[in-house]
Chains A and B, each alone.
Chain A
Amino acid sequence: MQRMHTFKLGLLAAGLGLLLTASCKKSDSDTAPYAKLQFSFSNEAGGKPIELGPMNYVNAAGNAYSVDLLKYYVSNITLVKQDGSEVHFPSYNLIDAAVPSSTNFAIDSVPTGTYRSLKFYVGVDSARNHTGLQEGALDPVHGMIWNWNTGYIFFKHEGSFKDSTGATMPLAFHYGTDLAYVGVEIPLNDLQMEAAGRKLFIRFDLNQLYATPIKVDFNFDNNRSSGNAGDVFWQYTIRGNFPSAFSLIKSE
């Protein structure tokens, strides 16, 4: 009987130890083959880095334009392995041309291996696009939420442009709503994700966004949000162009 008790006590003690460990410890990632993948986004227009203010850029339609404000969401990053399997990272990052630190972010635990491509979305998925009660990049304080319809502005470009008469006119593009959520895929050329980690340098080219495959002429589209019937064609154009606006500069 005494022995039985001792045995039970031993079991209990073991259980206690296990519970203590399990209840406090976070998932065990230090032993698994994971590495850190860093991202660095470079906002450009036709090879020139975006500088806020001056009318430095010319789009494919020949419109000279400036950028006073440029912000967009990069979300739900997925990495595609060589065998076609995918690793998903639910994530929301707001890139703001006025905040240099916002163009750099990282995923801490990417399985090591060989990757064929990088996928992400511009915008916020419908599961997270219908309440403003969210923290971090989705906190409404970032000025990326609509007032008329609960949901996020996925992409904002405000500035000015020279119209066909040479006059300087305001330019304001606010892109969003569920139908605007758009996927982008960038080839990674069999990127080796090593234990030491990697860094991807990604270009976002505004001139591509306004050119490929469909040209946007600011004389016709210069004040577009996503709430009116008149915005729908512009919205579809931008959605169709987004995939071509991102490309890999290099990996380190």
Chain B
Amino acid sequence: MRMKLILSGVMLVVVIAACKHEQTNPGPKPYQLDIPSGLPEMPIPADNPLTEEGVALGRRLFYDPILSGNQTMSCASCHKQEFAFTDGGKALSTGIDGLEGTRNTMPVFNLGYQRNFFWDGGAADLESQSIAPIQNPVEMHAALPDVIARLNAHAEYPGLFEKAFGTKVITTPMLMKAIAQFERTIVSGNSKWDKYLRGETTLSAAEERGRIVFETEATGDCVHCHTLGSTFSDFEFRNNGVDSISADAGRALITLRGTDSGKFKTPSLRNIALTAPYMHDGRFKTLEECVDHYNTGFHSAKNLDPALRTKVKGRMSAQDKSDLIAFLHALTDEDLIHDPRYSKPAE
């Protein structure tokens, strides 16, 4: 019996050894993703697991202007940590050629929970998203072959890519994977609201009243789409009536369905006090304007979301509105904007 066991063991070793190539490099180390309690586990794609080396490389790339056409802009030029990775008050961001985009810069946190990217969901996965701004003529306006050639000619990147992906010949998929890995590690879940849910703090009276407005169908009813809890969004596409006829087709550009015209992805309300201005085109400068929009300002677009279509205008009092805004401020996560793991790496 023992003989058989030993033999089986030997057989297994021989079989494995027979196919194994010489391996001197132990490979990248798995990255331990730190999810604050209260947030769900993040799905990580099997073909791009998080590794220490991959995340560090992605972070460096995120902050490196080498990815833009004239090497003046990085991802971080418009996604600034201090503004929850948005563009610090700009309605529309400006690219390397001084051209403006058409939509407000979206924040970069908790992206691993989202199904698709951009206001219209045009990017089907986070890896694919990363190269769109790099190539877009109104953003970083680079030709991918140039970027890949530059990275391959760089003094340090080939070595860093080799550590992360096992080969020093850099390809586009490796670039996409590295950036997506870093982005997945940017997690926000330490707002006052999260701490309140964990029993670590209490809400002020105004914040508590605001929470009730947020959840109450007859007043705020924000919760209908900005799902309370981990993500503060259902990530669906909805027409929220900012225009009666939308100049931007929104989701319909992707689905080619007329019924999706003027629909945009419900954004998360986490860190909303840091990410002004608001809406897909940055038309509202303040949270007050946003709340006024949902209270009285919304237009009867043809495909206005049903949740809004049934709403009475002027249903929120002045008190309700200021309480609601107090609650929205409790969604700010100071840890996110100060976390050194997300900041520009030292040169």
Once bound together, how far apart are the Cα atoms of A206 and B148, in whole Å? Answer: 32
> Are A149 and B131 CB-contacts (below 8 A) given A24-B18, A135-B173?
no
- Asked if B127 and A149 sit within 8 Å, CB to CB, the answer is no
Interface size class of B (residues with CB under 8 A): 35 or more
> With A and B bound together, what is the CA distance between A21 and B135 in angstroms?
48
Residues 195 to 233 of chain A near chain B (Cβ within 8 Å): 227, 232
B153 interfacial by beta-carbon distance below 8 Å: no
Interface residue from A12, A20, A143, A148 paired with B7 (Cβ < 8 Å): A12
Given A140-B144, A150-B122: A15 touches B18 (CB 8 Å cut-off): no
- On whether the beta carbons of B19 and A23 are closer than 8 Å, the reply is yes
Contact with B along A152-163 (1 / 0, CB 8 A): 000000000000
8 Å CB interface, B233-271 against A: 253-254, 256
Residues of chain B contacted by A141 (CB below 8 angstroms): 144-145, 148, 171-172
Q: Would you call A132 an interface residue if the criterion is a C-beta within 8 Å of the partner chain's C-beta atoms?
A: yes
Report if A19-B7 is in contact (Cβ < 8 Å); known contacts: A132-B131, A141-B171, A150-B128. no
Cα distance A130–B7 when bound, in Å? 48
Q: Does B205 contact A (CB under 8 A)?
A: no
> At the interface, yes or no: A98 with Cβ under 8 Å from chain B?
no
Taking the complex as formed, is A3 at the interface, i.e. its CB lies under 8 A from any CB of chain B? no
A131 close to B171 (CB less than 8 A): no
Q: CA A148 – CA B11 in complex, angstroms?
A: 53
From residue 99 to 142 of chain A, which have CB atoms closer than 8 A to chain B? 130-135, 139-141
B223 at interface (Cβ–Cβ under 8 A)? no
Interface flag for B123 (CB, 8 Å): yes
Instruction: Say yes or no: A147 contacts B173, CB within 8 Å.
Output: no
Partner of B127, one of A133, A135, A143, A148: A133
B64 at the interface (CB under 8 A from A): no
B334 within 8 A of A: no
Which residue in B124, B125, B172 is a CB contact (below 8 Å) of A139?
B172
CB distance from B247 to the nearest CB of A (A): 13
B347 interface residue per 8 A CB criterion: no
* A87 in the interface (beta carbon within 8 A): no
A19-B15, A24-B18, A141-B172 known; A9+B124 contact, CB < 8 A: no
Q: Which of A133, A149, A227 has the most CB of B within 10 A?
A: A133
Contact A16-B132, Cβ < 8 Å, known A130-B124, A140-B144, A141-B144: no
B171 lies within 8 A of A133 (CB): no
Tell me, in angstroms, the Cα distance from A40 to B313 when the chains sit together.
67
| Residue of B4, B127, B145, B253 touching A132 (CB-CB under 8 A) | B127
The answer to whether B33 has its CB under 8 Å from any CB of chain A is: no
Taking a contact as CB atoms under 8 Å apart, the answer to whether A23 and B144 are in contact is no
Complex interface: chain B residues within 8 A of A135 (CB): 171, 173
Least Cβ distance of B96 to chain A in Å? 15
Type the 1/0 row for B63-96, where 1 means its CB is closer than 8 Å to any CB of A. 0000000000000000000000000000000000
Q: Which residues of B contact A149 (CB under 8 A)?
A: 122-123, 253-254
Is B47 an interface position by the 8 A CB rule? yes
Does A5 sit at the interface, judged by CB under 8 A? yes
Q: Which residue of B lies closest to A149 (CB)?
A: B122
Question: Is B176 at the interface (CB under 8 A from chain A)?
Answer: yes
Which of B18, B128, B144, B176 is close to A20, meaning CB atoms less than 8 Å apart?
B18
User: 1/0 per residue B2-33: CB within 8 Å of A?
Assistant: 01100110010011001100000000000000
Measured in the bound complex, the distance between the Cα atoms of B47 and A190 in whole Å is 43
Chain A contacts for B3, CB-based, 8 A: 5
For the complex, give the distance between the alpha carbons of A151 and B254 in Å: 11
How far is B134's CA from A140's CA once the two chains are assembled, in angstroms?
12
Q: Give min CB distance, A68 to chain B, whole Å.
A: 15
Give A22's nearest chain B residue, CB to CB. B15
Q: Is A8 among interface residues, defined by CB-CB distance under 8 A?
A: yes
Q: Which of A16, A19, A150, A232 contacts B123 (CB 8 A)?
A: A150
Report which of A8, A133, A227 forms a contact with B128, defined as CB distance below 8 A.
A133
Residues of B within 8 A of A151 (CB): 124
Q: Which residue of B lies closest to A135 (CB)?
A: B173
* B123-149 near A? 1/0 per residue, CB < 8 Å: 111011101100110000001110010
Whether B11 lies near A16 (C-beta < 8 A) is: yes
- What's the least CB distance linking A7 to chain B, in Å? 12
Q: Which residue of B lies closest to A140 (CB)?
A: B172
With both chains docked as a complex, state the minimum distance between the C-beta of A229 and any C-beta of chain B, in angstroms. 8
Known contacts being A23-B15, A133-B173, A133-B176, is A148 close to B125, with CB within 8 Å?
A: no
Which residues from chain A sit less than 8 Å from chain B, CB to CB? 5, 8-9, 12, 15-16, 19-20, 23-24, 130-135, 139-141, 143, 145, 147-151, 177, 179, 227, 232
Q: Which 5 A-B pairs have the closest CB atoms?
A: A150-B124, A132-B128, A149-B122, A133-B127, A150-B128
Which residues of B does A touch, CB under 8 Å?
3-4, 7-8, 11, 14-15, 18-19, 47-48, 118, 122-125, 127-129, 131-132, 135-136, 143-145, 148, 171-173, 176-177, 253-254, 256
Extra pairs beyond A8-B4, A16-B11, A133-B128 (6, CB < 8 Å)? A24-B19, A130-B125, A131-B128, A139-B171, A139-B172, A141-B145
